[in-house]
Amino acid sequence: MALSDTGTARRPIGLEGDAFSRWLSQHSPTLLLGLLLVLLPAAATDFVLDQIVGWTLVLGMIALSLMFLAGYGGMVSLVQMTVAGLAGYSITVLGASSLPSISLFWPWWVAAPLAILIAVAFGTLAGALSARTEGIYTIMITLALASAFFYLTLQNWSIFNGFNGFTSVPAPIFLGVNWKSPVPLYYLILFCAGLSYVAVLYVSRAPFGIALQGARDNPRRMEAIGFNVMAHRIAAYAFAAVIAAVGGILLVWLNNQISPGTAGIQATIDLLVIAVVGGLGHPIGAFIGAFIYVILRTFALDALVAVGLDGRRFQTIIGLGFLVIVLFSPDGVIGLWRRWLARAASSRRGIGR
């Protein structure tokens, strides 16, 4: 609340002032949030740091890749969790884990880029397959691809170690820092999440992003004025896959394990729920959705029991919340926020009824 007040109050000054102060006033909520996140380790416990904020940021990154495709490209791709899962599995198989019979124990600076490369190749290929078909078909095809990967990880023991997956997947030690300990891992996650957030914002305003949004709104017209719509879509899948892949590696380092459930059908659908509840209109929506999801996931069980309800009905709460958002605010929590801001602004100016 305080964030928006400063933003609106300073706007007249910003208009007269120089470009920097205008930029500062426009982005003050984001900057404040960023400052808060950077200073968080000073105040928060390790649990809050990794299991709440860290998990939020990692899930937010993977949801961000889905938001980028769905929001700017109009392609609701359910394969993003799979891309993350594949990156996670790749770093486990190429790097270190508790299973020396499968893991190759290559150094992280070989394993991590290779894992990202593998996942991006897969994401791009999946994109090339599903971008051939239009709109609503994308959901069906990507859901089918995601479950194919899930069943593969479940049934294959020679590479994916089947149902058990892998445990003890450590974050590496480099630059003299043990990135496995909570605070360095938190900063690593925060850095990657912040970078991908800025990258998505930048790309959305770059010529490529604008063309992508054009292809979303009217592919035939874009085709007619000489844009290669297919190429733009596939490139968007590749870009999103990079973010999802980095998120997937961080997810493994954060949870210290990976199993078929990490990129299972439930996780795939949860990711869509996160992105839609947060809002597909702005990159921050992915992180808001992830935050709500993580809070619910962590506390709803106890809260339900405390109120006297059955704690196992957690999924119903998630589903109903998702339904309410889809039915009443299709642009997610961001949409609610924007409408609330607009109403507040209009009533302050005396225009409101």
Partner 1 sequence: MATALGDEGTARGARRGDALGRWINHHPLAALSLAVIVIFCLWLILAPWPQGFEDWFGRKRLFINALFNGITLGGLYFLVAAGFTLIFGLMRNVNLAHGSLYLFGGYMGYEAGVWTGSWLLSFVVAFLCCAIVGAAMQILIFRRMEGQDLRQTLVTLGLSIVFADLMVWVWGGNAIQIDTPDYLTGPVPTPIVVALKPSGDAIFLQYPRVRLVIFAAAVLIGIGMWLALHRTRIGMMIRAGVDDRDMLSVLGYRVQLLFVLVFAFGAGLAGMAGIVGGTFQSISLGEDSHFLLASLVVVIVGGMGSIPGAALGALIIGLSEQFGLVYFQNYATVATFVIMVVVLALRPQGLLGRR
Residues engaged in binding partner 1 (CB under 8 A): 76, 129-130, 132-133, 135-137, 139-141, 143-145, 147-148, 151-152, 155-157, 265, 269, 272-273, 276, 310, 312-313, 315-316, 318-320, 322-323, 326-327, 330
What's the longest Cα–Cα distance across the chain?
Answer: 71
Which CB, 185 or 263, lies closer to partner 1?
263
- Vertex 275: Cα angle to 271 and 281 (nearest 5): 160
CB of 102 to partner 1, least distance (A): 16
CB of 117 to partner 1, least distance (A): 21
CB of 315 to partner 1, least distance (A): 4
List the structure tokens of 63.
């949801």
CB of 248 to partner 1, least distance (A): 20
List the structure tokens of 353.
């009824």
Which CB, 323 or 342, lies closer to partner 1?
323
Is 244 within 8 Å of 61 (Cβ atoms)? yes
Which CB, 254 or 271, lies closer to partner 1?
271
CB of 33 to partner 1, least distance (A): 28
β-partners of residue 173 are: 178
Give Cα separations from 330 to 280, 286, 339 (angstroms): 9, 14, 12
Q: What count of Cα atoms within 13 Å lies in the side-chain half-sphere of residue 330?
A: 1
For the chain, state the CA radius of gyration: 21
CB of 66 to partner 1, least distance (A): 13
Which CB, 61 or 131, lies closer to partner 1?
131
Which CB, 190 or 273, lies closer to partner 1?
273
List the structure tokens of 148.
């194919």
Residue with tokens 């899962």: 85
What are the residues whose beta carbons fall under 8 Å from the beta carbon of 129, sequence distance 6 or more?
A: 141, 145
Which CB, 155 or 228, lies closer to partner 1?
155
